[in-house]
Chains A and B, each alone.
Chain A
């Protein structure tokens, strides 16, 4: 199987089939990341699309110091951060409007509604960086070194963000359920 960089080279040379192969290879990963950060399908689909558009639009500036996938993660997370910032600003400006257009609950698949709400709220309440570290670690199984690269921070900072996130979630669940 061709590597991502080989496909990118082919795309740069004008081969359109390489474009489609690269998108198909990473579309689910980037959509999953966007969904876990933005919590609804419409925003996640839009953000995933924008991530690929930005990547291909600026593919010449990809320095290949990291993998193409890591680069996609970086672009995707940046776009999600901007979207969350815009959402927070809107919430600040007009609370009622945001309530009406609030995204669907991310955690519809969780068996217990009560637990779903509590866990969802707890994850939603995490600071963005902690949430990013949690998503990249728990759902995308990245090593902390790579999480640091994606989040543009050190491995230690990525680890600390993740541990803080888990600790906060533990406290919330312990307080709500009487966990051990």
Chain B
């Protein structure tokens, strides 16, 4: 064996981690080579000194309490893990309430606008309401002041003649109540 080959086997030789035949080869080489013996001794001292470095024992109390601490930490981690899977319901903030309530309000407003436009068109068609002229657009419409406000009994009476108009009136009342309810909570 050459000196460079010996270097490769220095550690396993010292750790008795070689086949007997290889150990014999190295031993023969070391008997003849002073330089390799010096190298081998240096590595042996390193291993001995490193091996001598110990870890201070934290004491019996530490070891007896250790499993309990692990158990506590494990329980905490399990709870945290469960909460990660099914997060606890968070309190609803005013901002998020507004955000989630916005779409029904927008829908209600759209429906109101549609019904209003549709009913206005129907009333104009039946001659109950005058079509807005240039004058009525600029001034307060006189016709609207003359329009009767139908009671529930009127609506019932009108039902057979003009159910569409009655439905429009009922929808207008209903939507006003809905709007009041929605905005009353804010």
Q: Are A119 and B53 in contact (CB under 8 A)?
A: yes
Q: Are A52 and B74 in contact (CB under 8 A)?
A: yes
Which listed residue (A49, A50, A110, A166) contacts B53, Cβ 8 A? A110
Within the complex, the shortest CB–CB distance from A179 to chain B, in Å, comes to: 5
Within the complex, the shortest CB–CB distance from A57 to chain B, in Å, comes to: 6
Interface string of A141-171 (1 = CB under 8 A from B): 0000000000000000000001100100110
If A49-B66, A49-B69 touch, whether A173 touches B54 (CB-CB below 8 Å) is no
Q: Are B42 and A110 in contact (CB under 8 A)?
A: no
Within the complex, the shortest CB–CB distance from B69 to chain A, in Å, comes to: 6
A: contact size bracket: 35 or more
A24 to B70 alpha-carbon distance, docked (Å): 11
A90 at the B interface (CB under 8 A): no
A114 at the B interface (CB under 8 A): no
Query: Which of B43-51, B105-113, B121-129 makes up part of the contact surface?
Result: B43-51
A102 to B45 alpha-carbon distance, docked (Å): 29
Q: Are B58 and A57 in contact (CB under 8 A)?
A: no
Residues of chain B with a CB closer than 8 A to A32's CB: 55
Residues of chain B with a CB closer than 8 A to A14's CB: none
Q: Are B45 and A179 in contact (CB under 8 A)?
A: yes
If A53-B77, A119-B53 touch, whether A170 touches B43 (CB-CB below 8 Å) is yes
A binding-site residues for B, Cβ under 8 Å: 19-20, 23-24, 27-28, 31-32, 35-36, 41, 45, 48-50, 52-53, 56-57, 106-110, 115, 119-120, 123, 134, 138-139, 162-163, 166, 169-170, 173-174, 179-180
